[in-house]
Amino acid sequence: MQSFHPIWHHNNKGQLYWMDMERVIGAALAGDQQAIAKLYNAYSHKVLGICYNIVGNRAVAEELSHDAFVLAISKLDHLRNPDRFDAWLSSIAANVALRY
């Protein structure tokens, strides 16, 4: 049975819908830029918040959150369980901000 772990995503009309994480992460691994954009759009606010809470500077936090996403996408093949993407990405964001 296929795992279904959805996340909210906004479509181009601002409407929310569920995404199947396993499918989106698989597409991102294959280099699908739309899948990468979906992950970014779904998690960018959370990653920015994590970075901001650690560094306390909005401009720096924006740069660090971008760095965290670049790192996460480049290491996406290390993610063993798509259901853990949220926690995995949060950990990467916190580590990037703490290293700063």
Q: To the nearest whole percent, how much of the chain has pLDDT over 70?
A: 81
Please indicate whether residue 26 or residue 14 has the higher confidence score (pLDDT): 26
Least confident of 11-15, 32-36, 49-53: 11-15
pLDDT at position 8? 52
With a cut of 90, say whether residue 77 has pLDDT above it: yes
- In Å, how far from its chain's centre is CA 65? 10
pLDDT at position 22? 87
pLDDT confidence band for 19 (50 / 70 / 90): low
CB 32 within 8 A of CB 83: no
